[in-house]
Structure 1
C-alpha cells in the first residue's frame, strides 16, 4: 500500500468506496475518515467549517510552490488574506478579463490550426495547459505566455505533480523522520522554476507601485492586488506575499482548468453528436467581433459539457480537513487531529446520489427527471462540489466556468476532434486529476472538411 499510493491517490479506492456513506482507515501516523454522506459533507465544509480546518498534509506538498497563500494557510491568516483577495478578484473578473480570454482563445485556435491533421495525434493536456496558463497570465499580469515558457511550465509542473504524493506519504505511515531528499530537491527545483517566471513579471509592477508610478498601467488582477489594503491596518501585500498569492492564482487558474478542459475534449471526441451540437451552438453564439461576455450565456451545452466533465473528473479529487477536537460522526468517534476527507471524485460518482454515475451525459442538467437524479435536489446541492463548498469555496469558480465555455466553444467551432485508436487515458490522482499516459486526440479544421 505504501509504495502503490506513491503513484496515484486514486489507487487507494475500492469498488465499495463509491457506495459507502463513511469509511475509515488507520495508519501508523494517521487516523483518516472519508465522508460521502451529504449531511456530513455539509457539516465538515459548511456548518462546522471552523471545527474542521484545512489539513496541512497537502500544504506540505504545495508550500514550496505556493508559499503562505490562501490555498495553504488557515485560521486568522487565511481570513485576512481572503478578505484582501475577494474584492480584487471580484472587481477584475467581469469587467476586464473577457478580452484577455478571447485573445488567448484566438491564439490557441491559430496554434492548433497549424497542427491539425487527421493523421497526427496531439497531446491535449499540453495544449490545454498552454491556453489555460496563457489566460491566467493575461488576466493577472496582462502578459501573453510564449511557447517556450508554456513548455517550461508544463514540464516543471508535471515533475512537481509526480513528486507530490511521495512528499506526503511518509507522514501518513508515521515516518516523519523519513525525508526523500532526492525527490524533495527535484520538487523544490520545479517550484523555483515556476516561481522564477512569476517573479520576473511581478517585480517591475510591484516596484513601480511602491514608487508611486503605477498610475496609467495595465488594469488587470495584479493592479487590484497591488491596490488592496487591509481594513484594519491599511497595509497591502508585501512582495513575497504577492508572489505567493499570484502563484496560487496561477496554479488554481491554469492547472485545474487545464485538467478539466483536457478531459472535456476527450469526452467530446467520444460522442460526435454532442460535438456537432456544440459546433452549431458555438456558430450561433460566438460573434467574432464581440467583446461582450454576455454572449457566453447562449453556450448552454458547452457549459453543461464542462459541468459534467467536472463531475466525472474533478480537478481536485480530495479535500482534506482536520478535526480540531474530538467529535462523533455516525457511529464513529473521531479523535482530535483526525483527518477527515471529502472526495468530490467519490461523491460525484456515488451510486446513491447519481443515476448512471459513470456515464458522460451533459443533458442530465437540463432534466429534473428522477431517472437522472435519484435524489435530484440533494445531488445538485451536496453531491456536486467540484469547487468545494462553504467558506473555502474556490474563489475563481465563476472565472473558470466563463473560461471553459469560451475554450470549448472555440474548439467545437473550428475543429472536429476524433479519438486516437487504442488510446484510453488513465486517470491518476496527484495534486490534480490528470492522465498518466496523456490525452491524445486528432484534430481537423472544419473548413477543410469535404
Structure 2
C-alpha cells in the first residue's frame, strides 16, 4: 500500500529566462519541468555560462567519484561561506583532504556508540516536551525536530545542553540564512550582485557562529590550561586529532568552521528529514502499527541501546524512503576542470555541473512509482537495483557525508521513540508546501496530531 505525498508539480515545458529567475527566487524546485524528471542530461544557458544537469547514473557516479576533475563549484562555496567558512564542506584539493583526515576519525563507529546515550538523553527530553502537546490537537513539528536535532548536536559534539531560547534562536537564524543564501545563489547565477542577500546571510550566520564559537573557545582554553576532561564528544575527537601527513591539527578558527558545518549537516538536514518522516507516517497508520510491533519484538519495554538501530528494518526503510522523496540536500554543484563532451554535449572548463538527488531519486526511468511513498520498495529486487545506481542522499564517492551513520542512528532513535509513545495522526486541514533552498523544507511547516498510546 502506497500513496503519493505532495511535491511541486513540474511545469509542462522549460521556463523562459525571466520565468526561471522569478520561480527560482523562492525555491529552485519550482523551476523544474516535466522532462527534468526523465532526461539523462540537460543544459541551462545563463549569462556568461552554461549550467549542466546530469541525471545519467553512470556519469553521476563518475563525477562524484573524481574530486580532482570535478571539485565543488564556487557558486556553492560563495553561498555557504558566511556560515561554513573554509570547512570540509566548501574546500577542495589538498586542503579538503587534510581536513577530511582530521575530522573523519571523530565519527568513527566506536565514538558513535559512545555518544548514543547522549542522543537518547536528548530524545527523552523531546518526549517530555511532546507530552504537553499530545492531546490530539494540530501541532507544528518542524520546530520540535529542529530543537531535538540541535540538542543532539550540542550534547554529542559539544557536551552541552541546549536551552529552549537558544534552540529557537538557532532555528530562526537557520531559516533566515537559507532564505538569503538561496537568493544569493540565484543572483550569482544571473551575474547580478548579491549584495543584500549576502548581507542577510552573513547577519544570520553571525548569530549561529557566535553561539558555537563561545563554547569552542571555552573548551580550548580549558585544554590549554591543562584541565583534564573525560568528555568523549566529537569536539574532543577533532581537538585531539593530528594529521599523520602534515603533523598539524585544527586551529580555533578551523574548529569553528567545522562545527558550523556539522551543525548544518547534522542538525538542519536531519531536522528536515525527520519532519518529512513524521508527515509521511501520519498518513500511514498501518506502518506505525508495523513499527510498534517491530519495536515490541526487538526492544520490549526497555530503553533503546545502540545495537537496536540495525534491528528495526521497517523503521529503517521508512527513513530511507523519506530521504529518497525529500533528500535534505537537493542538489550538489561540481565544476568541470577541463573541457569535455558529456552525453554529446560540449561542457567547457569551469562550467557548473548540477547533480540532484531530488531528480535522481524521482527519475521516471530509474524507479518504479517514483513519486509514491513506498518503504517496502527497498526489500524488492527492483528497489535494491534502483537504490544501487540512483540513491545518493548522502552524496557518493570520496566526499560522501562523514555523518551518514550518525544521522541514521539519530533519526531511527528519534522516530522509534516517538512512534512507540504516540500515535501520529494526519491533520486533514494541512498540506505541506515543498520548497527547495539550502535544504528541502516545507514552506508552511508540517502539522500532525499526537495521541499517547
What's the TM-score, normalizing by structure 1? 0.94
**CA distance in 1 between partners of 2:160 and 2:186 (Å):** 37
Q: Secondary structure at the match of 1:63?
A: helix
Given that residues 113 and 306 in structure 2 are in contact (C-alpha distance below 8 angstroms), is that contact kept between their aligned partners in structure 1?
Answer: no
**8 Å CA contact 1:286, 1:296 repeated in 2:** no
- Retained in 2: the 8 A contact 1:282–1:412? no
Is the 8 Å Cα contact of residues 423 and 451 (structure 2) preserved in structure 1?
Answer: yes
* Cα gap change, 1:286 to 1:111, in 2 (>3 Å): farther
2:221 to 199, 207, 215: 207
- Supply the distance in 2 between the matched residues of 1:331 and 1:266 (Cα, whole angstroms): 41
Mapped partners of 1:413, 1:110: distance in 2: 14
Counterpart residue number, 1:253 = 266
Give the C-alpha shift of residue 212 in structure 1.
2.6
What pairs with 1:227-242 in structure 2 (closer than 5 Å)? Answer: 227-242=240-255
- Matched residue of 1:69: which SS? coil
What is the distance in 2 between the residues matched to 1:4 and 1:21?
Answer: 23
User: Aligned equivalents of 1:55 and 1:93: distance in 2?
Assistant: 32
- Cross-structure match for 2:120: 102
Distance in 1, matches of 2:248 and 2:138, equals: 51
**Residues 58-85 of structure 1: CA distance to partner in whole angstroms, max 9, x if unpaired?**
2112111111110111111101000111
Task: Count residues with an aligned counterpart.
Answer: 434
Q: Gaps (5+ residues) in structure 2?
A: 1-19
1:392 and 2:392 aligned = no
| Mapped contact 2:51–2:352 kept (Cα < 8 A) | yes
- Equivalent of 2:195 in 169, 173, 180: 180
1:139-167: per-residue Cα shift (whole Å, max 9, x none)? 10111211111111111101111111211
C-alpha distance in 1, partners of 2:140/2:379? 31
Query: Measured at CA, do residues 218 and 289 of structure 1 come closer, stay the same or move farther in structure 2, by a change above 3 Å?
Result: farther
Alignment match, 2:146: 129
* Aligned-partner Cα distance in 1 for 2:447–2:303: 32
Q: Corresponding residue for 2:173?
A: 156
Residue matched to 1:216: 229
Q: How far apart are the structure 2 equivalents of 1:93 and 1:134?
A: 18
Residue matched to 2:89: 71
Q: What residue in structure 1 maps to residue 206 of structure 2?
A: 192
Deviation at 1:55, TM superposition (A): 0.9
Q: Tell me the equivalent position of 1:14.
A: 33
Shift of 1:262: 0.4
Question: What's 1:165 paired with?
Answer: 182
SS of the aligned residue for 1:24 comes to strand
- Give secondary structure in 2 for the equivalent of 1:208: helix
1:282 CA drift (Å) = 2.3
Equivalent positions of 1:207-356 (< 5 A) are: 207-213=221-227, 215-286=228-299, 289-290=302-303, 292-356=305-369
CA distance in 2, matches of 1:195, 1:92: 28
